[in-house]
Amino acid sequence: MAGYAVDVVLEGFHAVKHALRFGAVVDPLVVLDRDAAVAFARSHAPDLVGAFERAAVVDAAGFARVAGRAHPTGVAGVAARPRVDWAAVPPSSPLVLLDNPRNLGNFGAVVRVAAGLGARGVVSVGDVDPWHPTVVRGSAGLHFALPVARLAGPEDVPGEVVAFDADGEDLRTARIPDDAVLAFGSERHGLSDAVRARADRVVSLPMRPRVSSYNLTTSVAMALYHWELFRRAS
């Protein structure tokens, strides 16, 4: 990643924690109660106690000016949104492609699980901003752990595209290469014609009869876990 632009509001202790851990400069970092925030850091993020000791103490009005609203943890911050230098991102793990996602909370949860399982990044096509505040809230600040961006269209995706759809080959017999792009359709409409046409392979997730679908985040987690499991076994 290189360069920074556009402020990102971080709501809550965990969003601030993850942003700090993955290199974001959080300024300002504000708390309603420094002692409470430091105590929480000691129990949940001892590596960041110093950052919370240096946080600015504000009243409820000051907190709302930074975060836009109250938060149960009494912690908030602002960080610069990173630009993505894709040339500097090695293709050593799959890239997750979301095809016109509609549910912002699900989008954020996908970023969270992709960060946890070591995906190369999360990209989307469609009109939703991947850095929308609700998406960042759903990721608990893990947007800073991996590249997250929007593409103009599926033609901008490099590498082998493995699309997930019910009529594809069973994932249990498939192998996902490290440099693959894993494409998932929207929660309601599935894969668009453009992404399906761009796909090199279509695979399906195992599913019990009469169960119609999985949640988007569950699907991404299953696919990335399958990749990780068989990579370790090879």
> What's the rounded Cα separation, in Å, for the pair 147 and 119?
9
**All domains in the chain, ordered by first residue:** 4-82 (3.30.1330), 86-233 (3.40.1280.10)
| Structure confidence by residue, pLDDT tens digits, 165-224 | 988 899 998 899 999 999 999 877 789 999 999 999 999 999 998 888 889 999 999 999
Q: What share of the chain has pLDDT > 70, as a percent?
A: 97
Strands 95-99 and 75-82: what pairing?
unpaired
> What's the rounded Cα separation, in Å, for the pair 55 and 123?
33
CA nearest to 181, candidates 95, 92, 123: 95
Contact (CB, 8 A) for 31 and 57: yes
> What's the rounded Cα separation, in Å, for the pair 41 and 48?
6
Is the pTM of the predicted complex or chain greater than 0.85?
yes
| Structure confidence by residue, pLDDT tens digits, 64-119 | 999 999 999 999 999 999 988 888 888 899 999 999 999 999 999 999 999 999 99
Selected residue with higher pLDDT from 227 and 232: 227
Task: Say if residue 3's pLDDT is above 60.
Answer: no
DSSP 20-80: HHTT--EEEEEES-HHHHHHHHHHH-GGGHHHHHTPEE--HHHHHHHHSS--TT-EEEEEE
Cα torsion 227, 230, 233, 234: sign: negative
> What's the rounded Cα separation, in Å, for the pair 76 and 85?
27
| Structure confidence by residue, pLDDT tens digits, 104-163 | 999 999 999 999 999 999 999 999 999 999 999 999 999 999 999 999 888 888 889 999
